[in-house]
Amino acid sequence: MTRFAGIDIGGTSIKYGVVVKGKVDWKKIIPTPKNEKSLNTDLKKIVQELIKNKAKGIGIGFPGYIEQSSKKFIGGPNLKFEVDVKKIMGELNYTNYRIDNDGNIGALAEYDHSYKGKVTNLIFLSFGTGIGGGIINNSKLVRGEGSAGELGHILISNDPNLEPCACGKIGCFESLASAKKWSGAVGELMKEEPLSELSLINKTEIKGSSLFSNNLSLTILQVVQQKEFINNISRGLISLYEIFDNQVFVIGGSFTDDSNQLIELVNERTNQLNKYRGRNFPDIYLAKLKSDAGLIGAALLLND
Ligand SMILES: [Zn+2]
C-alpha cells in the first residue's frame, strides 16, 4: 500500500501525517510558528520525520499564494511568510513532493472522497477567517500559474467605505461574507438587542453561524443582517457559476459542525436571482470531510 504523507499548514496550526488509501493512518498537530525562520526550521524537521516514516511522497498545503515554477509559498493574507520548499527538499535530497494552496487541496479531497466519477466540474468554498476556494474543471484542479482558485478575493462590491480585505483590496467576497464577518455581525447585533434569543444563545461564545440557525426566532434587525449575508454569498456563487458552469458547489468550514440552514437559504436566494430558463443552478452540498480534509488533500497531490 502506498503511504503518502500530507502536511496541512494553517494560520494557527500545522497538521501532518500519513494517509493510506484516502484515510489518515496517523497524524500530529503542532502550533504554526510565529516567524518565518521557525516555520522553515519546523517544516524541515517535519519532512525529516515523514521521510523516516517511509513516506513515498509528501504533499504540502499552504494558506495563501503558491509559485509552482519555483516551488515557493510566497505568503498569504493570514500567514505573511515565505517558504522555499525546493531549497528545503534539496537539502534533504528528497524529490517526490508537491505543494499547493489550502483551498485547492480541500477541493481535491472533497472531490476524491465524494464526487469523482459522478461529476466533472465542482467548486469548493470554505468559510472561516476568510473564504478559501478550489476549482475542479473537467476532473482536474485549476491552478493557473499556481494561485488560481483564490475565490475569496473576487470583488463583489464597489463600496469605498468597506474595510480593506486582508489581501489589501476593497470589496472582496471574503470581506463581505466570511464566517469571521458573521461572528462580528452577531457581536454587533448583541449590543443592539441584548435580550434577543440570538444574544442569549451567544452569551458565552459567539457562533456566527447562529445567524442562520433553524431554531431561533430572529428580530427584524437580525433578519436584515442574515439576508445581507445570504445575498452576498449567493451573488458570489452566481458569479462563479457564470464563469465555470459547474455542476455542484461544496461548502466547508467549521460552521458545518453546527445545525443551521445556511445552505437552504443560499439555495432559495440563488434560485430567486438566477432566472435563466433551462439553466438550473448547481446543487449546493456541505463538505463531508471535516478537519482532516487538508491533510488528506495534501497527500492526494501526489496522485494529481
Ligand atoms: Zn481580498
- 136 and 281 fall within a common domain: yes
Question: Within this chain, do residues 148 and 267 fall inside the same structural domain, yes or no?
Answer: yes
Same domain for 233 and 124? yes
Establish if 282 belongs to a structural domain. yes
Ligand 1 centre distance from Cα of residue 282 (Å)? 25
Residue 300: which H helix or E strand, with range? helix 293-300
Cα(154)–Cα(161) distance, integer angstroms: 17
In a domain, 113, yes or no: no
> Is the residue at 114 inside a domain?
no
206 and 71 part of one domain: no
pLDDT of residue 296: 94
The pLDDT of residue 146 is: 81
Q: Judge if 281 and 296 occupy the same domain.
A: no
Q: Do 98 and 141 sit in the same domain of this protein?
A: no
What's residue 304's pLDDT? 72
In a domain, 205, yes or no: yes
Query: Can you give the pLDDT at residue 120?
Result: 98
What CATH number should be reported for the domain holding residue 187? 3.30.420.40
Are 159 and 175 within one domain? yes
Extended strands (E) in 149-282: 248-252
| Tens of each residue's pLDDT in the chain, 304 residues | 688 999 999 888 899 999 998 889 999 999 999 899 999 999 999 999 999 998 999 999 999 999 999 999 999 888 899 999 999 999 999 999 999 999 999 999 999 999 999 999 999 999 988 899 999 999 999 998 888 999 999 999 999 999 999 889 999 999 999 999 999 999 999 999 999 999 999 999 999 999 999 989 999 999 999 999 999 999 999 999 999 999 999 999 888 888 889 999 999 999 999 887 788 899 999 999 877 889 999 999 998 7
Distance 152 CA to ligand 1 centre (A): 6
Give the CA radius of gyration of the chain: 20
Domain co-membership, 163 together with 47: no
Q: Domain for residue 137, yes or no? A: yes
At 186 the pLDDT is 98
CA–centroid distance, 168 to ligand 1, in Å, is: 6
Look up residue 198 and give its three cell numbers: 440570538
Q: Are residues 68 and 50 in the same domain?
A: yes
Ligand 1 (ion): residues with CB under 5 Å are 153, 165, 167, 169, 172
Look at residue 112 and tell me if it is in a domain: no
Give the residue among 146, 149, 63 at the shortest CA–CA distance from 104.
149
Q: What is the pLDDT of residues 94-133, one digit of tens each?
A: 999 999 999 999 999 999 999 999 999 999 999 988 899 9
For the beta sheet containing 83-84, the strands, ordered from the edge strand earlier in sequence to the opposite edge, are 66-67, 72-73, 83-84
Distance of CA 268 from the midpoint of ligand 1 (Å): 26
- Based on the fold, state whether residues 45 and 145 are members of the same structural domain: no
173/240 Cα distance (integer angstroms): 11
Domain limits for position 35? 3-105+292-300
How remote is the CA of residue 173 from the centroid of ligand 1, in Å?
7
Domain membership of residue 222 (yes or no) is yes
SS3 call for 144: coil
Mark whether 136 and 89 lie in a shared domain.
Answer: no
What was the pLDDT predicted at 274? 87
**What is the count of structural domains for the chain?**
2
Q: Give the sheet arrangement for strand 23-31, strand by strand.
A: 23-31, 13-20, 3-9, 57-62, 97-101
Identify whether the C-beta of residue 108 lies closer than 8 Å to the C-beta of residue 139: no
**Distance between Cα 182 and ligand 1 center (Å):** 17
- 284: phi > 0 → left, psi -120 to 50 → alpha, else beta; which? beta
Residue 111 lies in a domain: no
Q: Are residues 160 and 240 in the same domain?
A: yes
From the CA of 57, how far away is ligand 1's center (Å)? 33
